[in-house]
Amino acid sequence: MNEPLLSVRGLRISYRGDTRPLHVVDGVDLELAAGDFLGIVGESGSGKTQLLLALLGLNAGARLEGSIRYRGEELLGAPEGIWRRLRGAKIGMIFQDPMTALNPYLTIGTQLTEGARRHLGLSRAAARQRALEMLDAVHITEPRRRLDQHPHELSGGMRQRIVIAMAMICEPDIILADEPTTALDVTVQAQILTLLHELRARTRVAVVLVSHDLGVIAEVADRVAVMYAGRIVEQADAPTLFSAARHPYTEGLRRSIVPLEGPLPARLPTIGGLPPNVAALPPGCAFAPRCGYAWERCDTVAPPLALVSAPGAALAGQHRTEQHRKACYYEGPLERLP
C-alpha cells in the first residue's frame, strides 16, 4: 500500500454562531492514497461540502483545527501561496452545478487552459494542445470547435465534462467532486460516473466523491464514509457498507433507496425526525433523537468512531483504512428501522 497522499486528522471546522461556535465538521479523520475512490455520503448540512472545501483551503470565514497533510506537508495554517500552488495543480475540484461553474463570458478554451498555463507554465499553443487532449479524454466530440464556444452553447452533461477536464488538465493527484451529478439527468449521471471511474483507472488519480445519493456512491466508490452532523458515523469498503451496515443511520439511508427490482413497497421507508441543526446539537450522539436503538448513554456521550467487532468486522491483515468503523454503541442486529 502506498503512503497516504492526503491525511486528515481531527479536522474541525467552525463558524462563529450567535451564542457559541458552530462546528460544521467535527473531528473527521480521512486518509487517501493514489488511486483511491472514496465516497462521502450525507444529507444536506452534514458538512460534506465544507470538508471538501477545507481540503482546498477555501472555507471563507471558518476556523479550522486539526491537521491536513498533503504528502506529509502540513497545510492547515500554511500561507496562501502554498495553497495556490496546490489548488488546480495537485488537487482539482469538480463543482456541483456545471451551469454556474463556468464563466459565461469566457470561451471553453480560455477557461480550460487557464490552469495549465498557470501551473504547468505552458505556452498558449501548448496549453491549447493539452486542452484538446483533455477534451478527447473526457469524450467530447469536435473538441477543436468546442474550444471556441461559450458555456451556454453546450449541454449540461457536456459542461460537466468540461468542468472535469478543467480539474484534470494539470494531472492532479486528487480530484474532489462535490455532487458532480446532482444537477444532471439520470442517464448523463451514469456517463459522468463512468468517466470518473475511467479517469481514475487511467491516471491513478485519487477521487473523493461527495453525494447525498447513496445510489451514486454505491455505483463507483471503493470506500465509503457516511457523515452525519459534521462527523463520520460509519466507514467501510463499499460492499461491506451496503451489505452489512452497522450504524442505524446508514441502514436507514440504505433502506430508503427505491428498489429497482421486485415489488415496490407500499410506502417508501424514511428516517423519521428532522435533519440535525448544527446550532443545537445534543451533547451525545447527534443521531440519537431520531434513532430507534438509542438508550440513555447515547444522549450523554457521543460514541467514538471505533472498529466494528461484530460480524462483518475487519479481517486480519486488512489495511487500516479499509477497516469497518462505526460511531455507535449499539451492537445488535439492525432489523427495525431506526
Partner 1 sequence: MSGAAGKAASPTRPRAVGLWGQAWQRLGRRPAALIALGLLSLIALLALLVPLLSSFDFATPDWDALFQPPSSTHWFGTDALGRDLLVRVMWGCRISLLVGLAASLISVLIGVLWGATAGYAGGTTDSLLMRTVDVLYTVPFIPLVIVLTVLFGRSFVLVFVAIGAVSWLDIARIVRGQTLSLKNREFIEAARALGLGNATMIRRHLLPNLLGIVIIYATLTVPAVIVFEAFLSFLGLGVHAPLASLGTLVADGAHHLKSHPYLLTIPALFLTLIIVCFGYLGDGLRDALDPHEAR
Positions touching partner 1 (CB under 8 A) are 56, 58, 83-89, 92-93, 95-97, 100-107, 110, 114-115, 118-119, 145, 148-150, 152-155, 163, 166
Shortest Cβ distance from residue 93 to partner 1 (Å)? 4
Distances (CA, A) of 97 to 3, 23, 134, 136, 293: 33, 26, 20, 22, 37
Shortest Cβ distance from residue 234 to partner 1 (Å)? 28
Shortest Cβ distance from residue 87 to partner 1 (Å)? 4
Find out whether 216 and 185 touch, Cβ atoms under 8 Å: no
Of 114 and 322, the one with the shorter C-beta distance to partner 1 is: 114
Q: Where are any strands of DSSP class E within the chain?
A: 6-15, 22-32, 37-41, 63-70, 73-74, 91-94, 174-178, 206-211, 223-228, 231-237, 306-307, 325-326
Of 87 and 223, the one with the shorter C-beta distance to partner 1 is: 87
Residue carrying the nine cell digits 438508550: 295
Of 87 and 231, the one with the shorter C-beta distance to partner 1 is: 87
Shortest Cβ distance from residue 88 to partner 1 (Å)? 4
Shortest Cβ distance from residue 192 to partner 1 (Å)? 16
Of 73 and 331, the one with the shorter C-beta distance to partner 1 is: 73
Q: CA-CA distance, 20 to 29, in Å (whole number)?
A: 24
Of 83 and 242, the one with the shorter C-beta distance to partner 1 is: 83
Helix-then-strand count for the chain, H and E: 11, 12
165 phi and psi angles, rounded to 5 deg: -60, -40
Within 13 A of 103's CA, how many CA atoms are on the CB side? 10
